[in-house]
Structures are given as structure tokens and as C-alpha cells.
Amino acid sequence: MNPGDWYIWLINYKFTAMLTDIHPKLPMRQKANTREFYTSILGFTTFGNDFEGYLMLQKDSVQIHFFEYMDLNVLDNYGQIYIRCTDIEDLYNEIIRRGGTIHPNGQLGMRPWGIMEFSILDPDHNLITFGMDL
């Protein structure tokens, strides 16, 4: 097989593996603070083993993993995740009821791209955006 044939074969190759889930990893400074925020404000629960410097949380079918980054400057943190949800107004109101703070530019509303969204910041300034198709 000459090099040109190899390239053509490679770009036409069909993967048989299918991607099934994604579990983002975000930085955290203090495991206890991160756990408290996600469990008390967002309703997540801890799962898996308790590893030093690592935290795994789950709510419904969403998992978020956190790695310890003690020197994280929150003003330089651009960690972000986007979570699709149902009943976004109920979720929004429940987060506020539990003491969560909505991002100043992330109030609940319809976006130009046709999705109802809102955003919050966690204790380490990871931006969590929730969205629902209407």
C-alpha cells in the first residue's frame, strides 16, 4: 500500500466504538466546600470511593468529577459545563430557594439560539449553565 492509499483508508475508516457518556472534570480548591455546594444547593450526591484530592458527584444521569487544585486563582478559572435539564423553571427556583446565587449575566431566560438557560458559579468559579429545549 503506498502512502496515498493509507491516507484514503484512514479517512474512510469507520469507528465501531460509540461514545456513550461524558463526565467533566473541574478544578476545586477545597473538597469539603465543593461537596457542600453541589449537595446542598444542586442536589448532587457523592458516589464511588473517597480518594484524596478527588471528588465524584452525581445527580440523575449527570456525573461531575473534581480534582484538587489548591493554588487555583478563581479569577483565572474558566472551567465550564453545560447541563441539559427538564423543568428548568422548577430547577431555577429550587436553586434560589436553597441559597444558590444566579450568575449576574445568567438569569433565567430564552436565548437567541432557542434554548431556555440560566447559569451559576460554584465556589471555585466554575460556570455551570443549565439549558432546556422548548
Q: Around 8, how many Cα atoms within 13 Å sit in the side-chain half-sphere? A: 5
**Mean pLDDT within 79-85:** 96
Q: What is the C-alpha to C-alpha distance for residues 36 and 67, in angstroms, rounded to an integer?
A: 15
| Distance of alpha carbon 12 from alpha carbon 113, whole angstroms | 33
Residue 1, pLDDT above cutoff 70: no
CATH class of the domain defined by 20-133 = alpha beta
Residue 51 burial (CB count, 10 A): 11
- Give the per-residue pLDDT at 19: 81
| Every domain of the chain and the residues it spans | 20-133
Q: Mean pLDDT, to the nearest integer, of 17-26?
A: 88
**pTM for the structure as a whole:** 0.85
